[in-house]
Structures are given as C-alpha cells and as structure tokens.
C-alpha cells in the first residue's frame, strides 16, 4: 500500500483569471482527490501557476511560478510525476510560444525520469509542422495520453502516434459538480440581486475579429431576441478583463431594451469557477463563444447556442450531436434568433434528447484521473 503522498506537478494555463481554465484545474484536482481516496493513496498536487498565491488560496494546494524555471525544475525534481493539461495547450493559433513552453515542461520531467501524463488536452491547430516530431516524441514517452476530442486524436495520429496510445475522453469540466461550499455559493452576489421574474439568457463572448463585425452581428441578434420576447440578458465574462470589455461593447450596441420589458446585466468577476457554474445553471439558454461556457451549460443541461471562432467549439458541439449556429466569419442574426426561440420553446425536449450524451460525458470525465492514480498505486 502507498503511504507516502504522491507529489504530482500539474502544468497548464492556470492563474490567469480565466474561468474556463480554472474550472479545468478545479476539475482535475477534484477527480484526483476522489480517485486517490477510492484507491487508498494520497496525492499532493503542485500547480505551475501564473499567480501562485491566488492558486494556493483558491484550491489549498502548493503552487509555484510557472515562469520561474528554477522553481519549476525544483518542483519537478522533487515530484513523483507530471500532469500536462487540460485545455488547449499545444496550439499555435494564439501564440508561437505556447507549444515550446508546454513541451519544454514535459521534456524537463522526462529528462528527470519522471512519469508524464497528458490529461484531456485539446491538441491543435498546429500550423507549424516543425512542431510535429517534438510533440510526437514527448507524447510517445508519456505513460498516458488522453485528448478531449476525436479531432485531437486524429491530428496526433497524423503526426505518427498510434491509435492504441490515445484515450479520447471528455473535457474534465464535464465532471465538475455545483459546489455545496457556502463561501462559493455566497460569492455570486450578483445572482442574489437579480431576481427571477424573467428567463435568463446567458451570453459568453470574447473579442476575435479586429473589425468587430462579429460582435455587431451578435448585438443585432440579441436585440432581435429582446424584441421577440422579454428576457434577462446576463453577460458572463469568462476571461477578465477582456471578456467584460467585449460584453460592454455588445451591450452598448444592443441599446435600451427596458422599453421592451427586458433586462441586461454583467456578472461580476468571480474567482471560483463553481460560482460561474452556478450562474450558468440558472440560465434558460446560453449563447456562447467561450468553450467552457458551453461545457458548463451541457453539464447543467442548459440548452445552448455555440458561436465558433475555433475548431474546439465545433468539436465539443459535435459530441452532443450539435453544430454551431454560426461563426465569427459567417453569422446570420435572424437564424440565431430562430434557434434561440426554438430552444426556449422546447427546452424540456432538448434536455431529454441530450440527456444520454451528457450523462456519458460526465461518467467518462474522470477516466484520466483514475488511470493516473492507478499507476501510482501499482508502482508503490
């Protein structure tokens, strides 16, 4: 029986005040703890974070500065292994530095003879094929490779990784429950102030196009929805402060909707991802660009409309048998409103139709944690 706590370093996009990525971390920590308890061992996570003090305070775990390579080296050297994930870590769409950083952390662990585990990552797009052999090498030497969609697995296979090495699992956030912690429940003060007289339509946006034409079309669609029925538009910024700026941009273009019997508000900044999950759970419908806004909605059986700016949005919707209502390039406001109206009128039917797919994703979300804990239990 393993009596010494297994020190596991976790590398990802953590400590940046992005609700989606913080939810990934919280989900991984929760799954590891639950599986460790079930299998009779103890795990002691060490998170590589942009804000170690915040990470320690929120989750009660050790954390070190992800960019202080001496501290990263020491954390890995004194650990029993490394988890890389989850999230979209290995992609070069947002920055050319992203892939080199996360691969360097994996290779550092492997050079120190530490077991590495790829935890429910979304891989791609990888436009620079020069990265392919480095990704292949790092993943082949890992003890477990799990990805969050078929498309990531297919991309890795095109790099030369065998299908037998890959586990396709859901995003870990599908396994994140609503919190019973009174402090987390109390954090969402905005919800307490809102009242519940109008159906709430959650809106999660991010800036993408420089000309803001996508934001303008979304504003037009939301205005049309308000003209069709009385709703409360509740904007949910997942990445502060940029998403709040996107929300205010759209709100300004929607204009005054009080005369239509509608309300509009922005969710305040929420540190705890489960507080944002509670926000989403109260929605009648969610219109989302952020991936984890859609994942939150699915986990709480809230009908959703996805607007795609990245293949990861389409990949997730495909797992529910859905398609995006539009993209940042092509979005018809009338079609979006038609979809919103249909879903709000047929909410129970949507929930019934998606119940099995959602239940399967929830059940499978903890598989990587189960395999990792089993590895350490058997290794002793």
Q: What confidence tens digit (pLDDT) does each residue in 51-92 have?
A: 999 999 999 999 999 999 999 999 999 999 999 999 999 999
The closest alpha carbon to 205, from 255, 239, 253, belongs to 239
pLDDT for 94 = 83
Q: Pairing between strand 200-204 and 326-327? A: unpaired
User: Alpha helix (H) ranges present in 255-346?
Assistant: 273-281, 291-299, 311-319, 333-345
- 319-371 pLDDT per residue, tens: 999 999 999 999 999 999 999 999 999 999 999 999 999 999 999 999 999 99
Tokens encoding 166: 């890959």
pLDDT for 373 = 98
pLDDT for 196 = 59
Chain region(s) in the chain for CATH 3.40.50.2000: 6-169+365-379, 182-361
What angle do helix axes 273-281 and 291-299 make, rounded to 10 degrees?
A: 60
Rounded percentage of the chain residues whose pLDDT exceeds 90:
91
Residues of the chain under the 50 pLDDT cut: 190, 192
pLDDT for 307 = 98
As a dihedral over the C-alpha atoms of residue 131, residue 132, residue 133, residue 136, rounded to 10 degrees, the angle is 120
pLDDT for 179 = 78
pLDDT for 379 = 87
Architecture (CATH level 2) of domain 6-169+365-379: 3-Layer(aba) Sandwich (3.40)
Please, what's the b/e burial string for 174-202 (b: 16 or more CB within 10 A of its CB; e: otherwise)?
bbbeebeeeebbebbebbeebeeebebbb
Superfamily of domain 182-361: Glycogen Phosphorylase B; (3.40.50.2000)
pLDDT for 183 = 61
pLDDT for 80 = 98
CB atoms within 10 A of CB 270: 25
CB atoms within 10 A of CB 327: 17
Give the sign of the dihedral formed by CA 193, CA 194, CA 195, CA 196: negative
């Amino acid at each position: 029986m393993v009596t010494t706590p297994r020190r596991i370093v976790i590398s990802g996009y953590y400590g940046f005040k992005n609700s989606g990525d913080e939810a990934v971390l919280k989900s991984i920590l929760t799954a590891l703890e639950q599986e460790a308890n079930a299998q009779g061992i103890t795990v002691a996570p060490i998170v590589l974070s942009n804000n170690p003090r915040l990470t320690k305070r929120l989750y009660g775990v050790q954390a070190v500065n992800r960019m202080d390579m001496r501290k990263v080296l020491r954390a890995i050297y004194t650990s029993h292994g490394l988890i890389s994930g989850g999230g979209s870590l290995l992609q070069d769409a947002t920055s050319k530095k992203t892939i080199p950083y996360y691969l360097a952390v994996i290779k550092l662990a492997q050079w120190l003879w530490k077991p590495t585990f790829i935890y429910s990552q979304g891989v791609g797009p990888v436009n620079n094929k020069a990265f392919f052999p480095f990704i292949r090498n790092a993943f082949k030497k890992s003890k477990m490779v799990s990805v969050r969609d078929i498309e990531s697995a297919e991309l890795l296979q095109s790099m030369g990784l065998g299908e037998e090495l890959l586990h396709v699992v859901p995003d870990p956030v599908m396994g994140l429950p609503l919190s019973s912690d009174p402090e987390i429940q109390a954090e969402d003060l905005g919800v307490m102030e809102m009242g519940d007289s109008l159906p709430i339509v959650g809106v999660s946006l991010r800036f993408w196009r420089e000309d803001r034409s996508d934001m303008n079309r979304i504003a037009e669609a939301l205005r049309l929805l308000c003209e069709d029925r009385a709703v409360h538009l509740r904007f949910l910024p997942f990445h502060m402060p940029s998403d709040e700026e996107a929300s205010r941009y759209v709100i300004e273009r929607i204009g005054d909707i009080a005369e239509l019997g509608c309300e509009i508000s922005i969710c305040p900044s929420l540190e705890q991802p489960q507080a944002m999950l509670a926000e989403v759970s109260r929605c009648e419908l969610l219109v989302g660009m952020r991936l984890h806004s859609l994942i939150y909605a699915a986990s709480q059986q809230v009908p959703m409309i996805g607007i795609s700016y990245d293949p990861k949005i389409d990949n997730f919707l495909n797992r529910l048998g859905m398609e995006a209502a539009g993209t940042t390039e092509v979005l018809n406001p009338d079609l979006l409103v038609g979809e919103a109206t249909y879903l709000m009128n047929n909410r129970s039917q949507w929930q019934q139709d998606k119940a099995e797919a959602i239940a399967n994703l929830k059940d499978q979300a903890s598989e990587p944690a189960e395999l990792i804990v089993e590895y350490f239990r058997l290794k002793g």
